[in-house]
Amino acid sequence: MRSFSEIDTAVKRASKGIGFSWGISEEVGKNIRLLEMFGLPGLKNLNQYYKILKEKKFQNLTLVSKENSSKIPYCPIIAGINFLDQVNNLEELEEIKFDNLGFPILFIPFVSRASEIIGKRIFLTIDEKEFLLNFNQSIYSNYLSSDVLEKSDQIKIKFIENKNMFSETEWQELYKLSEDTFVEETDKLKQNAAGAGLTDND
């Protein structure tokens, strides 16, 4: 089995070899490493994408808006990089749509990393496939295939507002149990606390 470090390095060099800048290549290396760690077929999709990249034209999306549509499939790498760069402004939109994005699996890690940047979960759908991106720590999905996914008709992105999954009553009940571990403060504890008894000679 190849290590994640090997995958990162090989992908970075291959991306430079196909014509991307070193900066973009480093981003792609990180992304494929993430996909493989999360159990998604990153390297397989990237390999197929690079096989056809010089023969088939893909559209570069530089400015991401609420509705993004193109007759020519969007490049998932350029679209992903610009989504990541612009996410602090994009999170103000309730939903973002991409029509005709090529090799959408390669777009997922950019959205996952964006989730960490803005500190919000992001719900991503690729046609009927669902992905919940959790602060770049995990991906929950109903998509378990290891096949290459060459295109998507529509991608939707929704930013999920942070909220607790428990009620205030449940919090208070649990917190009350935690109070049994509290130690009542005494004069002796104050004297033995960190820094106690030190003399400042300055």
Structure tokens at 197: 């008894």
pTM of the complete model: 0.86
Give tens-digit pLDDT for 1-28.
Answer: 899 999 999 999 999 999 999 999 999 9
Q: Are 45 and 146 in contact (CB under 8 A)?
A: no
Give tens-digit pLDDT for 31-86.
Answer: 999 999 999 999 999 999 999 998 999 999 999 999 999 999 999 999 999 999 99
Strand order in the sheet with 129-134: 67-74, 95-102, 151-160, 121-126, 129-134, 138-141
Q: Which residues, at least 6 apart from 31, have a Cβ–Cβ distance to it below 8 Å?
A: 42, 80, 106, 109, 110, 113
Q: What is the pLDDT of residue 180?
A: 87
| 3-state DSSP assignment of residue 174 | helix
Give tens-digit pLDDT for 81-126.
Answer: 999 999 999 999 989 999 999 999 999 999 999 999 999 999 999 9
